[in-house]
Structure formats: structure tokens, C-alpha cells
């Protein structure tokens, strides 16, 4: 869930926002999420608690907001044109990253701020653009939509991350990647 953006994106408002975000990150490092309180963040950031309450509403929303900025958005691999191994390599990286302690903590923090209606975060958009980059580089081309790739590879990872007991099976994403590409090529 993304918070209402401040109407003033520069100057003091920006400095406050950065100081608060930095304070949240620092305090999570030092004392952990569970001990985190708004007054403490305010003190560390050099602002008054009411500023935080007025801008973010509550601790949950603030922490969720910070966690979303930790989402990877850049494409992590260089497409080689070989779709199956590109997707498999990326799926492996992605699965390991998400199934790690920091990955799971980030996911937890993001989901705490989910409002139940809109997308919880921009994760799928970032994934989709990387998938599209891999698919358009494909040589020879494959007839696969980004959505079907996401459903086949990333949906099981994300679903199990949240709804199954940890850790994820080794190679879950990798094998799904080979499978979805093989199926597409077989039906071509």
C-alpha cells in the first residue's frame, strides 16, 4: 500500500521524510521491528511525534512505506537470448532473495500495510518489466506472455512464501522456468 504523497515534495518536507525513513532503518537495525515505537523514531529523526502521526497515520503504515523502498526494481540479469536459462537463472536469484530472512521481513512489513484492495506493492510491475525484457530478447522468439510466465514461475514462489511453511523447495522457480518454456516450445 502506497501512502498519500506529500503535496510538497521538496524542502523541509523532503528532509523530514528522509530523516524519518533513515531513523526507521537505523532503529530496525539496532533494536528490531518489534521494539520500534513512533516517539522513538521521532526523536532519532529530530522531529516531533505528531509530525509522523500526521504524515503516516501509524507505525504500521510507516514501516510498510519504508519496506517498499527496499524492493528491487532494477533488472538483475543480462538477457542472453536463451529464454529458458535466463528465466531460470533469474528465478533462482529471486527465490533465494525472497526466501531469505531480510526478504521475508521486507515482505511481512509490506503486507502489514496492505489495504486489501489495491496492489500491496509494485513488485509485480518490476517483475513484469524484467520478464518482458527477457522475452523480447528471445532468440529464437517464443510465444509466451509475460503474465503466463509470472503465473508459472513467480506465483508459486510468492504464494508459498506466505502461505506455506518455510523454507521453499530448492529449485522451485528454476524448474518452473524450464517447464513453462518447454511447454510453450512444444505447442509451437
Partner DNA sequence: TCCTTAATGCAAATATATTGCTTTTGCGCG
Partner DNA sequence: CGCGCAAAAGCAATATATTTGCATTAAGGA
Residues near DNA (CB under 7 A), total? 26
Residue of the chain from 2, 3, 13, 175 that contacts DNA (CB under 7 A): 13
**Cα–Cα distance list, 57 to 4, 66, 96, 145, 167 (Å):** 10, 14, 33, 39, 34
Find the DSSP H helices in 99-139. 101-112, 123-136
Nearer residue to a second copy within complex by CB, 19 or 172: 172
- Give the CA radius of gyration of the chain: 20
Question: What is the closest distance, in whole angstroms, from the C-beta atom of residue 151 to a second copy in the complex?
Answer: 4
Contact status: 9 vs DNA (CB under 7 A): yes
Binding mask 49-78 for DNA (x = CB under 7 A): xxx-xxx-xxx-------------------
Among 6, 26, 31, 155, binds a second copy (CB under 8 A): 155
188 binds a second copy (CB under 8 A): no
Contact between 109 and 33 under an 8 Å Cβ cutoff? The reply is yes
* φ/ψ of residue 70, rounded to 5: -85, -5
Please report, for residues 16, 97, 101, the alpha-carbon distance to residue 162 in angstroms, rounded to integers and kept in the order given.
Answer: 33, 14, 13
Under 8 Å between Cβ of 38 and 52: yes
Q: Which does 145 bind (CB under 5 to 8 A by kind): a second copy, DNA, none?
A: none
Contact call for residue 117 and a second copy (CB under 8 A): yes
55 binds, among a second copy, DNA, none (CB under 5 to 8 A by kind): DNA
- Asked whether position 118 contacts a second copy by CB under 8 A, the answer is yes
Looking from the CA of 84 toward its CB, the CA atoms found within 13 Å total 10
7 is a site residue for DNA (CB under 7 A): yes
Which among 89, 95, 42, 53 is positioned nearest to 72, based on CA atoms? 95
- Rule CB under 8 A: which of 39-98 touch a second copy? 60
Would you tell me which residues interact with a second copy (CB under 8 A)? 60, 104-105, 107-108, 111-112, 114-121, 123-124, 150-152, 154-156, 158-160, 162-166, 176, 183
Amino acid at each position: 500500500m502506497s501512502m498519500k504523497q506529500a503535496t510538497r515534495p521538496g524542502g523541509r518536507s523532503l528532509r523530514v521524510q528522509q530523516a524519518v525513513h533513515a531513523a526507521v532503518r537505523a532503529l530496525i537495525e539496532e533494536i528490531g521491528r518489534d521494539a520500534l515505537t513512533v516517539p522513538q523514531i521521532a526523536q532519532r529523526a529530530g522531529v516531533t511525534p505528531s509530525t509522523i502521526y500526521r504524515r503516516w497515520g501509524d507505525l504500521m503504515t510507516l514501516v510498510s512505506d519504508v519496506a517498499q523502498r527496499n524492493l528491487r526494481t532494477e533488472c538483475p540479469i543480462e538477457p542472453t537470448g536463451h529464454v529458458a536459462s535466463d528465466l531460470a537463472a533469474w528465478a533462482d536469484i529471486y527465490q533465494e532473495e525472497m526466501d531469505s530472512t531480510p526478504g521475508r521481513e521486507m515482505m511481512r512489513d509490506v503486507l502489514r500495510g496492505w489495504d486489501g484492495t489495491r496492489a500491496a506493492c509494485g513488485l509485480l510491475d518490476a517483475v513484469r518489466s524484467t520478464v518482458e525484457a527477457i522475452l523480447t530478447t528471445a532468440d529464437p522468439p517464443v510465444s509466451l506472455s509475460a503474465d503466463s510466465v509470472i503465473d508459472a514461475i513467480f506465483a508459486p514462489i510468492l504464494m508459498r512464501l506466505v502461505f506455506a511453511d518455510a523454507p521453499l523447495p530448492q529449485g522451485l522457480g528454476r524448474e518452473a522456468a524450464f517447464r513453462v518454456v518447454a511447454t510453450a516450445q512444444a505447442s509451437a
